[in-house]
Chains A and B, each alone.
Chain A
Amino acid sequence: MIDSVSTPALAAPAIEVNGLSAGYDGRVVLKDVSFSVRPGEIFFIIGGSGCGKSTLLRHMVGLNPPLSGTVRFLGRPFSQADAKARRELLKTFGMLFQNGALWSSLTLRQNVALPLEEYTTLSPREIDEIASLKLGQVGLSGFGDYYPSEISGGMRKRAGLARALALDPDIVFFDEPSAGLDPVTSRKLDELIRQVRDTFGTTIVVVSHELASIFDLADRVIMLDREQQGIIAEGPPRELAANSRDPRVSEFLHRGDKLA
């Protein structure tokens, strides 16, 4: 049974996941997962290590085919869409990978410019200007000509975010944005995520087990559990921490109180 704290329904969902089962090589990791994310929401997928957070994200964005179930973005089917429709939807979202996943043979400017070159008919000068603007938004002005190997881990993540924002997407996915970062850099990245949402109204989906980020940023969370292979709690994190009767949820979220 899902431990749920209800929140009022607002606009039509930006993301709808229905009955999604996910896994690799015949091994089922998640079974029958359903949830929706509202436009402009900062939505966290949380849970302990190995519970399937990143697996869920990879299946949502199409990096792995779902075993069953559907994913819809902005009301349009994604997981079962044909190649053309899928490509159109891919334009509407960006993703920041755990280690930035910048293309190592390209400079930061070229990394940010590539999606624009692929999907727009802008002139090289305009693309260059947009790339500089995006790098500036994440605090990397002047680093456009650096290669990923020449900058720190935190800077790589910010550059990855600039690339994810290049096409002004409606939805941005973050896979463990705090992983490998010190607490100060991690909080700065959190602040950047909030700015993106507040400025552009972007829907944000974050996979994380970083409690400070969860309580600081999340409007709503779903919590996954490895044993149950699915969602065990859904709702705003503070309300879940205060009202949840599930000991797994309370234990996970109250460690945050202790840390704070």
Chain B
Amino acid sequence: MAVDPEIPTHAARASAAMAGDTLDVSLAGDWQVTALRPAWLEVVGDRQPAEVRLRAAELGSWDTSLLLFVFAAQEWCRKENVRCDTDALPEKVRRLLGQLTSSHETSVPVDRSENFLTTVGLATQDVGRKARDISNFVGECVLSASRLVRHPKKFRWRDCLEEMQQCGAMALPIVSLVSLLVGVTLAYTGAIVLRQYGGDIYIADLIGLSMVREMGAVMTAVVLAGRTGAAFAATLGNMKANEEIDALEVLGIPAVQFLVLPRLLALGVMMPLLSLYANALGICGGLIVAYGLLSIPGTAFWAEMLTIVDLSDIATGVIKAAAFGQIIGLAGCLRGLQAERSASGVGRAATSAVVTALLLIIVADAIFAVLFNALGL
């Protein structure tokens, strides 16, 4: 005879019958938490017994499913003020039922709520603590750097070169693409306005000045904040989780000297270089648009650009780039060293490093704008 696979042959069953004032409930079949089981309210129906007696009859394999059913019966009995007799159930079931009952009674949710004032107070304290951490970290970096100036042999030159390769040479493709496209976009946007006034040639001034003074450094910084800053935070965070930072401390080797300074120097050198490279690529992007869209010859573009871009403009861009590099390095390393000792902690540190770096870069850029304006640069 064919067996319908939809209907289990040993499904959980609970049959109830009244014997005087007592409701006799027989439990049979296999009770599996992954399969369907009878519901207590359906079993009891609208009967009003004075006592409920649960017993196992032809009970097969069972798991938590049976416990949940018996527990529901007990709870119903408690609410209806009806005596519940489970003595006829297997001893293991009764023991586990006891555990379930006690865990149910003791599992009071922990109140983690805080009132508004506490939240504001804690957040204020946190801001103060973070500001202190940043100033301590910057101070520690300056002291370590001054020590290394006196003892240059202690500096990890090899690590620094490796970091230079990572944050400099390896970043060239993405910096090239971003800078070229920024130049192209600026040129297209500028061309729309300048053509209306017949000032096509001034596209060279717009591209040259904006790339050299602003966009070269800022766009390189944005790319490196996402690429290098996050990598620094993740590396240092992972080292912290693996107790590698503790191992340095126990040896009396400051983590700042060993891990942070090589990275800061690498960024301090590579950021200005990458920024100059980004300037060149951005100008090339603008030149392509000027030649293709506005039919301005390359020599004319170059000659016009040189009438407005001078060394002081290039210097301002380079100074900004160096400062942005230090911001990215400091944010990445600080967040990495502050990371919690877990996988999610490392992830949060990387995210926080990028956000911190971008925020500080924008703040620093605004400060530079005011400063250079005041100095007449």
Enumerate chain A interface residues (CB-CB to B < 8 A).
58, 61-63, 86-87, 90-91, 93-95, 97-99, 101-105, 114-115, 118-119, 163
Contacts and interface: CB of A to CB of B under 8 A. Distances in A.
B133 to A, nearest CB: 15
13 contacts: A61-B250, A62-B249, A62-B250, A63-B250, A90-B251, A94-B250, A95-B250, A101-B247, A103-B248, A104-B239, A104-B242, A114-B253, A163-B247
Contacts of B253: 114-115, 118
B63 interface: no
For the complex, would chain B's binding face be called helix, strand, loop or mixed by DSSP majority? helix
B246 interface: yes
Interface of B: 154, 159, 239, 242-244, 246-253
Contacts of A103: 239, 244, 247-248
A101 B250 CA distance: 11
A102 B251 CA distance: 12
Given A104-B239, A104-B242, A90 B252 contact: yes
Contacts of A94: 250
B281 to A, nearest CB: 32
A90 B247 contact: no
Contacts of A99: 242-243
Contacts of A86: 252
Contacts of B252: 86-87, 90-91, 118-119
A104 B244 contact: yes
B267 to A, nearest CB: 17
A90 B239 contact: no
B228 to A, nearest CB: 16
Nearest to A95: B250
Nearest to A61: B250
Nearest to B243: A101
B247 A97 contact: yes
Given A99-B242, A103-B239, 14 more contacts: A62-B250, A63-B246, A63-B250, A90-B250, A93-B250, A95-B247, A99-B243, A101-B247, A103-B247, A104-B244, A114-B251, A115-B253, A118-B252, A119-B252
The 7 closest A-B pairs by CB, nearest first: A90-B252, A101-B243, A101-B247, A97-B243, A87-B252, A95-B250, A101-B244
